[in-house]
A and B are shown apart, each in its own frame.
Chain A
């Protein structure tokens, strides 16, 4: 399984990108915004 050890860093980056994308998307969908974005009321 040497090949899996060799390619681990690339595959890790692949999983990391997917995980970050999915988690960020779900957070937005739950609150209709990202946590750092202001709502319309907060802006007013």
Chain B
């Protein structure tokens, strides 16, 4: 039997199982609540699996490995930003969203601030950056197929884009939750499986460390020798606030059985998240020592796997990457499609749309959005991590701050919410665009100044205006603990 045969055996066993789960999930879906929210009966372990698998996309094996490879331990500040966002999301935002108990985040903001048009505008902003995020996920899948089967990169992107779209169309949230739970274990195993081979090839850990000190002496320090304090701080805040403003994660809490499950999911995700990145750090460090110079660092992990690991293990690990790609892509797609249907179509065009018609439109929206992301994937304007950071910069600046304040700043007014969202989105987008076209220096990342300015604007506007009865009533509803087990 050939090398490729055994690789395919490992690859397709995992893939077949994932699609089996998607089909079973499809048969369980009866209405939009089932499709979007898995009937609001998700236990903590499924939420943990979904948060983990969605956050750890194929970017872990490509983009993040490349970042650790180039910049050393400084990259921990990105992961720590996400880790602290889990504490805020699961303990301070999730319980309130569960008490609110609707479908989307724009829907929450519109009701919290008694402003229906806020729902449409926030949904448009979210959908735009989420398509960029989808593009980055397709790049991961495209690189995988290109490397595995030698197919043309553009063809690989089209195949993965259509596959992800179909997969999400069929499964909905049941498939997202179930396959994410399985994907989480597959990708954890996929990461672990490489380590013994890496240590063996690198000549043991002490040998790897000696090599690293020769090629990049500050690799293990908290700034890695190639990053400034301000850049590291910016990474921390981009990822922390980006996640706070990411409906893909926040809507998970609408699916929870009760608030207790939300809290349990906070413990679970925190126990798993950072240890995984410590593992990735060790993997990337070993790769740096084994391949001191490589043309495209995003391919360093996959290159090692194909050169040094038995074929069936490679097949399994590649399936882990594909599982990570699918689990992230279906989350982004489903969240964006839900928002397009509920917040834009139903809210602005057809308030009395039937449940059946809305379900059909949702599935069409999933396919359309996955097709829109394909050109971004083919274009591949920059590295995976850069694409993701642009998306999270806009998410954090426009939504993260406003969502957090909306739950704890009682006197925050409708006008302040509008001002915060618009100013945050505008400053971050314009600033970053001018940096990308070379008009202004890239030395200062916009996230910290944007957050500070948006915060000041929200406070000033809130002081200058008055909250309405409706906004105060909604604020009180979020704190009504009698809803915790409803």
Contacts and interface: CB of A to CB of B under 8 A. Distances in A.
B407 interface: no
Q: Which of B90, B270, B480 has the most CB of A within 10 A?
A: B270
Main secondary structure on B side of the interface with A: helix
Contact of B267 (A2, A26, A39): A26
A40 B481 CA distance: 6
Nearest to B74: A10
Interface in A1-44: 2-3, 6-7, 9-11, 13-14, 17-18, 20-22, 24-26, 28-29, 32-34, 37, 39-40
Contact of A14 (B212, B278, B480): B278
Nearest to A34: B91
Contacts of A9: 221-222
Contact of B221 (A6, A11, A14, A34): A6
B15 interface: no
Contacts of B83: 14, 17-18, 21
Contacts of B125: none
A29 B264 contact: yes
B84 A10 contact: no
16 contacts: A3-B212, A7-B220, A7-B222, A11-B278, A14-B83, A14-B275, A17-B274, A18-B83, A18-B275, A21-B83, A22-B267, A22-B271, A24-B266, A32-B260, A33-B481, A40-B482
Interface of A: 2-3, 6-7, 9-11, 13-14, 17-18, 20-22, 24-26, 28-29, 32-34, 37, 39-40
Interface of B: 73, 76, 80, 83-84, 86-87, 90-91, 209, 212-213, 218, 220-222, 260, 263-264, 266-267, 270-271, 274-275, 277-278, 480-482, 484
